[in-house]
Structures are given as C-alpha cells and as structure tokens.
Structure 1
Amino acid sequence: MGASRSELKSLRSTKYTSSARTEGGIERLRALGYRSGLRALDLADRVLGRDRKMVPPRRYRRFIGNGDFAKVGTSITQYMRAELGLLPSHDVLDAGCGVGRIAVPLTSYLTEGSYLGFDIVPHAIDWCHSAITSRHPNFRFSHVDIKQEIYNPEGTLTSADFHFPADGQAFDMVALVGLISHLLPDEVDNYVAESARVLRPGGKCFATAYLVDDMVAERVREGRTAFTFTHSRGTHFIHSEQEPTYAIAYRLDHIQEVAARHGLRLEREPHLGTWSSSTARPASMDLLVLERA
C-alpha cells in the first residue's frame, strides 16, 4: 500500500510553497495558481487586520505543516522550558527552523542567550531575517542549500555529510523538530553526530519523530496507526515509495544505537504522541530527548 492520493496531493502543495523550482509546464501552472491563491489570502489578512508582525504570511508558513503557527510554537517552547530546563541565558540551535515557529516565542525568553536557526528554504530564512533578527539581534538565521527531494530538490549539499553552521560545544540545546521524519538513515546519523558536536557537556537534543518498537511495528503492519508506514526497511519504515522522505518512522533501538555511537544517551523515556495508538487525525509525533555526556 502506498500513500493515499489525498496525502500526495497535500505533499504537492507543500512543494509549491517550499521550492521556487517546479518542473513541467503543467506543474508550474499549478504551482503559480496555488501560490497566487495564498497571496490573495495574505492580502485579505492585511486588509482585514488579521496579519501580525511576528507571524509569517500564509504562503511562507504553509510548508511547515498544519496547526496554528503561534500556538504550536508556544507549546513547543513551553515544553523546552518546563521539561528540559531551558534558561534565558542558554544558547539554542534550531535545525530546520522553517519560518521561525520556535524562534518567535523564544524572542521574549532568551534575553541573555542566543539562537541560531538554519533551513533549506530561502524565503523562510529571508522572512526570519526581516521579521526577527531586525528586532532581536541575538537571533540569527542561515540558509543552507541542502538537496532534499521534497523541499529543495536542486540543492548543492547533502544531509549525509553536511556540517551545521556552528562551532563545537557552542550550544546548550539543539532542536530537531519535524526533521528526523524526513531523513534517511545516513542522514539521521550525520544530524545526530552534528548535534553531539555542537552541544556542550550536559546539553540536550530535543527531537520529534515517529518511533517504533515491537508493539508499534505490529500496529503499523495491521494498519492501526494514523500514518501508514507499510514499507519496512529493517531499521525504519517509509510511508510512500514514490516519495520516500515524505514520512519515515524509525526503530527506537536504532536511534538509541546511533545516539550512543556519538556520545548521546536517552535522557528519559520518549513522550509518546498519538500517531501510533490511534488512526484518528490530526495525530502528534513522539518526543525524544537525548543528552550529551
């Protein structure tokens, strides 16, 4: 079984808003129409006073996923503060920062520390520079031209050997939110290694992922999860053979083995989301916390 037609249609829309390069005449027209529709909604937001200074326009935030931009960002950062001990003096690296969903709520909290976010979508970084860095100089953003078949198919770098744009042991926390589910095994290995490299001793890597143990693997095989990961690859499951990086679920013991190899340990039992216990949508991912020795 592959990805459903509606899911691949949604993926196509995601591509339209994340990459300026769309192949094929018909696809270019579809992309133009989709983006034009979002621009019209952005204009309506401005006219009706619904736009906010620190919330990106719809055409920029569509590719980061569903849900209320401000509420989801606030929920994530509250977890980082309450559960992971994030302090105002800490330095945070946000890999795959998108249009600043985590950065925006942190601007009022990281008053003594700093933030560095990077992403492969140029207009996302441009918006963050304009809307966030201009007001909060301790918040920096970097565009990295990594090749990714969904979000940046013509990139010049690879996730498997890419180095984070940061010095070693420069951060107290690394966020990998919504990222592991789009990375293949050699790419996960590199991102975990890079997270360990930039973390200070005792620092934490906070990630969201689709995690699989034997019980969840059985539910996946029986189609009793919110997402269908029906193509098993041993250490991981993929959702669609047509778009393998659309969604990837990993065996928890594999993630632990990779982490241990790079000096990280599971800091606590993962906080399980709803994707693996129910077929209902919307469904949340699992939360994983790794600590550097």
Structure 2
Amino acid sequence: MSNSITSEPTSPDSATHPIEPERSKLARVRQGLRGVLFPSASPVGLTGEGSGKAPNVQALELEMSWLKMQLAQYRKEQGQFEGLEPFVLGTEHVSGIVPPIAGAGVRATVGSPSMAGYLVSGDAWQILISKFLKPNSQVLDIGCGCGKMARNLAYHPHIKKFIGFDVIQDSIDYCNQTLVPRIGSKFEFHCYNVYSECYNPQGTIKASELVFPATDGSIDLAWGCSLFTHLLEPDAKHYLREVRRVLSPSGMFLPTIHINPAPGTRYSGNEVRVDIDIDYFAELAAEAGLSLAVKLGEVCGQYALLFKVAPGAEAPKIVNVNGTKSEAEVAEASKPKTGGVPVPPNEGALTGEMLRLNGLAAEKEGVTPDVHPKDFIFWFVATHPELSLDSATTYYFEDGARSADKLDKELTSLFGEEKKPIKLLEFASGYGCVSRHLKKNPRFDLTSCDIHPEAIDFLTNKIGVKALQSAHTPEKFSTPEKYDAIFALSFFSHMPKATFGRWIKALYNSLNAPGYLLFTTHGIKSIGGLQITAEDIPADGFWFQARSEQHDLDAEEYGLTLSLPNFVIPEVHRVVGSPIANYKQAEWWFHQDLWIVKRER
C-alpha cells in the first residue's frame, strides 16, 4: 500500500477503509481554510512513514483546529476593521501616540472603505510624499478626507505645518477631534461647504470660488490624492490657479488623475469619475503657472504627476481697476483705497530704466518694446504700489502674451486648426498691450481698433498692425470689412446700460457668418475689486458707477460696470437674437467673465 494518502489502496481492509473518507474530508477542509487565510498557499500532502494511520488523523484534526482558530481571529479582526467605530491600536501611552484608524463609514468618504485599501494607498502615498518633502516644510493636503496622510506623516521631522481641507464635515470632525489632540496643533484641518452634486449637494460655495486656506507663496509641497479625478474642468482650472497662488517659488505639487477620457475628448466624465488626457492636464496647469516636472506613473490605479512653479511665472493675481490682488486678498478690496490710474508724470515720458526693462521683457516675448506715453495699462502697473518697476514691466508684457495665447486657444476651439487666416478685429485695443503679441500669430489677419487717434497712429507705425478708428457711439461705428472673430477685452466692463446692448449689436453686425464675438465683463468675482458687495447689485444683474481709471474719457460713457448672466443673456438675445455659444466665469484675470456669441447668418 502506498504511503501517500493521495493514492488509492491496493486492497482496502478493515483498518484503512473507514479512515479514507475522513482523510479526504479533512484535507478538503484544510485546503479551504488555507484558501481563506492564505490565498496563495497550496495544500501540503502528508507523506512518509505512518501516513494513513490513525495518529495522522489526529494530526489533521489538530491542524484543522488551529486553522479554525485562525479563521475565527481573522473574522474578529475583519469585524473590527470594518466597524463604524475607530480602530484603536494601543492602550495607555500608546493610544495617545498612535492615532486610531477611522471607522469604515468615515473611510468610505475618501474611497477607502476597506482596511486593506486604506492601508495600501496610505502606505504608497506616504512614501511618495516623503520623497519630495524638504526640511521645515509647510504642506497642503487638498481634499484631505479623514486625515489618512496626516496620520501617516504625524511625526515626520520635515513637516513644520500641515494644512488639510475637505468638503465632508464628518471627515474634518474626525481629524480635529481624534488626530489633532494626538499629533499636535501644527496640523490644522478646515471644512468648506463646497457644493458637489455627488458628494455635498447641500453645499453653498461654488468650487470655482473656493479660496484655499493658505497665504500666497506659503506652501512648499501640495498634493491632491484622488482630487482631480472628481473635479469638472472649470473647477479644476480654478483649483490649479489656487495651487499656484499658494506655492512658494520652489514649491511642488503632486496630483493624480485618471487618464482615459472618452474617445474624441481630452476631459470627460462626471463627479463620480473624471478622466483627463495627461498632456491636456499639463496645459491647464501651465495656464495656471505650473510646469510639469515629472510624469511619475501610476499609483494605486491613478496617474501621478509632479509640477513645479513655472520659471518666471507670477503668482495668480486679480488685476482690476483698483489694484492687484491674489484671490485670498479679495476681501481686503472692500476697504477704502484710491482708485484709478495716476496721471503719468512728465506727460508720460518713460525713464531710461523703463526703456531698459521694456527692452528686456519685450525681447523675451519676441515683440516690439515700444510703449506709448499715454498707455494707461502700462502706467497702471508701473505705478502700482505693490509692484516693483521690474515686476510691473514683466507683468505688462507677459500678461499681454497670456491674453493672446488664451484667445488663440479659444479661436482654435471654435474654428479648428485648419482655418487660416482668421480675420480678427481686436476692439478697444488701447495702445497695443495685446496687439503686439497677436501680431506674431501667423493664423491671424489682425486689425486693431481704438477710440484714441494717438493709439491708431501708434498701432500702425510702431506696433505694425492695421488699425481702425472707433467711435463714441455704436451707431457711428463702421468697419471696411467683416471679420471672422471680434475680441473685446475689458470693454463691456466699462459700458453703461444705455450703450451696452447697442455695442453688442454694432460688433455683432461687423461679423461674417459664421463668426464669433468674444468679450469679457466684470462678473461676480469682481465685486471685491469694485468695492461693492453682492447686495449692491440690482435685481436685473447690472451695476454701473460713473468712475473711470482713464482720465481722458467721460466717466458717464466709460465708467465701471458689473454685469451678471441674468442681465447679459437676455440683453444679447434682445439686441441680436442669438444665444450664448459659451460662457466661462472668471476666465480672464481670475475675475472677468468670458462670453462668446455666434453669428449664424
């Protein structure tokens, strides 16, 4: 007879016959239990001297008893792991040092209801973040959930300050009530009642208006673990701008994304799951002033990227008629301050230092360095109390370039890559802050247009573009040809109600069919800079004040205007009968809204 229990006996007898079924049963039980506890383990057959004898049945029974005990312990731990109460890992002093792990209900709000998923993702992220932590760092966890990373980094020696925020109140309550008493006050957590159709439908704050709880340039490392996998595109753009605002010049940003957008798209999905093309996400980040440093690769099913502050990129600012402010400082704009642009000294004559800096900035952008003495945009930034002359000059040229690039992207999305040239009218172009950059684009057949005769002469002879004289009244405005696109940047942010719609009509009538009118307005994000509150805006959504930063224009004709969608949309329909083709809140300078109207016929 074979010594292996897996072989059939040659001639069963009274000694072996009753044992065989029991051995097989015990072997099957043993294999099943091992499969539960140790899925990769294979059952081991008992072979050798004495196999098949009664003592070995006792050995199998002993092993089965041990496996059953292990299974009971496994089930007990699983019950504790998946319970709603925090999982406590120690007693006495240990309980005050090692924070409990959040219960399954709270963990579920951050996509890790199972203990295994929570621990595995936390371990991977802790190692990844630690790789980029530098001594004495202030860090920002965007969408911190129940503090998974705070817990894992609780005693990391490089962390000076840890700031986390989320939209789920239960998660933040857990952080403040359970984590902070153990790991210390250098960890702070904030809850913002941000609206999310999926995760926080009762929210009262728009994601596109959220201000991160950190001051400008204060964060050394920020991350967004499974954050952009749930943000719609307008909100993602705003979050990227806020990331840039809070990052220090040497700061880094570590987000993850899903990278399989729907065919034919670069950004698709809903709040449950958003997928973004990697290169497109890098483009969005670049618009916010972030430069892609490394494509790190997948971590726990999402693609990780590392960004740094783009060389020479200024922190995002809201530039308006009352000053340059970061989004975190908008609230300060309601304080009394001197508005408008000072009258240029020496009739606008540029100093030698101005000419030198203009030359350097213009050379970098590949445009003419000439600036007209009456260019109020230049003088606005050059005399701004918060900007050095060097920074102001850089801003003037770089901001013009950003506007030109942004317009190019908008027109590409409207016309496609193939349409060349695009007959473009830049209306209310001033003295060429943007025109000099648009001129470089070979796709554009550009004409600039302004009300000032001196601007027309400067645009023609110094900037080198076709220039068209505007008019003080819309009905007297005429063009020698029709245009594929007309762009009016920060013009309707100054028009009184009496001419707002009339100018829409005049410009619309100067379009080819099909053609597009693109214009910006002061929107709800502009109220701080305008020194008003939402309560100051009339019910029809139109607010105007006869106050102008341009001293050579009548403030009654060119003042300060704020117009909300509930005014703009019906006004456009009333005067030209066309719907709004697109609307982007705070698309320009982080506070002016962009409107696009299409002429079909």
Same fold by TM-score greater than 0.5: yes
Structure 2: tracts of 5 or more residues without a match = 1-78, 311-601
Which residue identity lines up with residue 204 of structure 2 in the other structure?
T
Which residue identity lines up with residue 252 of structure 2 in the other structure?
K
The aligned counterpart of 1:237 is 268
Q: State which of 104, 128, 134 in structure 2 corresponds to 1:87.
A: 134
The aligned counterpart of 2:144 is 97
Residue 118 (structure 2) pairs with residue 108 (structure 1): no
Distance 1:269 1:112, change over 3 A: closer
The aligned counterpart of 2:238 is 190
1:72 offset after TM fit, Å?
Answer: 2.1
The aligned counterpart of 2:83 is 41
1:154 offset after TM fit, Å?
Answer: 1.0
Classify the secondary structure of the residue corresponding to 2:298: coil
The aligned counterpart of 1:179 is 227
1:190 offset after TM fit, Å?
Answer: 0.5
1:151 offset after TM fit, Å?
Answer: 1.1
Classify the secondary structure of the residue corresponding to 2:297: coil
Distance 1:109 1:237, change over 3 A: same
1:113 offset after TM fit, Å?
Answer: 0.8
* Deviation digits for residues 157-183 of structure 1 (CA, Å, limit 9, x no counterpart): 111121112111111011111010100
Distance 1:44 1:184, change over 3 A: closer
Distance 1:125 1:110, change over 3 A: farther
Residue 288 (structure 2) pairs with residue 252 (structure 1): no
> Is residue 147–residue 156 contact of structure 1 (8 Å, CA) maintained in 2?
yes
1:38 offset after TM fit, Å?
Answer: 10
Q: State which of 49, 67, 75 in structure 1 corresponds to 2:124.
A: 75
Q: Which structure has more RCO (C-alpha within 8 Å, separation ≥ 6)?
A: 1
Pairs within 5 Å for 1:97-246: 97-110=144-157, 113-135=160-182, 136-212=184-260, 230=262, 234-238=265-269, 244-246=270-272
d(CA) in 1 for partners of 2:203 and 2:160? 31
* Deviation digits for residues 33-72 of structure 1 (CA, Å, limit 9, x no counterpart): xxxx9999336967xx9x9733111111112113432342
User: Which is higher, the Rg of structure 1 or of structure 2?
Assistant: 2
d(CA) in 1 for partners of 2:125 and 2:135? 16
1:233 offset after TM fit, Å?
Answer: 7.0
Distance 1:233 1:115, change over 3 A: farther
Distance 1:108 1:70, change over 3 A: farther
The aligned counterpart of 2:308 is 291
> Is residue 134–residue 158 contact of structure 2 (8 Å, CA) maintained in 1?
no
d(CA) in 2 for partners of 1:235 and 1:257? 11
Distance 1:192 1:233, change over 3 A: farther
* Deviation digits for residues 153-212 of structure 1 (CA, Å, limit 9, x no counterpart): 110011112111211111101111101010011011001100010000121110111124
1:129 offset after TM fit, Å?
Answer: 0.4
Q: State which of 294, 318, 321 in structure 2 corresponds to 1:268.
A: 294
TM-score normalised to the size of structure 1? 0.69
Residue 94 (structure 2) pairs with residue 63 (structure 1): no
* Number of residue equivalences: 223
Classify the secondary structure of the residue corresponding to 2:141: strand
> Is residue 139–residue 163 contact of structure 2 (8 Å, CA) maintained in 1?
yes
1:270 offset after TM fit, Å?
Answer: 3.7
Distance 1:44 1:158, change over 3 A: closer
Which residue identity lines up with residue 192 of structure 2 in the other structure?
V
> Is residue 90–residue 110 contact of structure 1 (8 Å, CA) maintained in 2?
no
> Is residue 139–residue 159 contact of structure 2 (8 Å, CA) maintained in 1?
no
Distance 1:134 1:236, change over 3 A: same
* Deviation digits for residues 238-277 of structure 1 (CA, Å, limit 9, x no counterpart): 2xxxxx211010112221111111211111124135xxxx
d(CA) in 2 for partners of 1:44 and 1:140? 20
1:112 offset after TM fit, Å?
Answer: 5.0
Distance 1:75 1:125, change over 3 A: same
1:234 offset after TM fit, Å?
Answer: 2.5
RMSD: 2.8
Q: Give the fraction of aligned pairs with identical amino acids, expressed as a percent.
A: 25
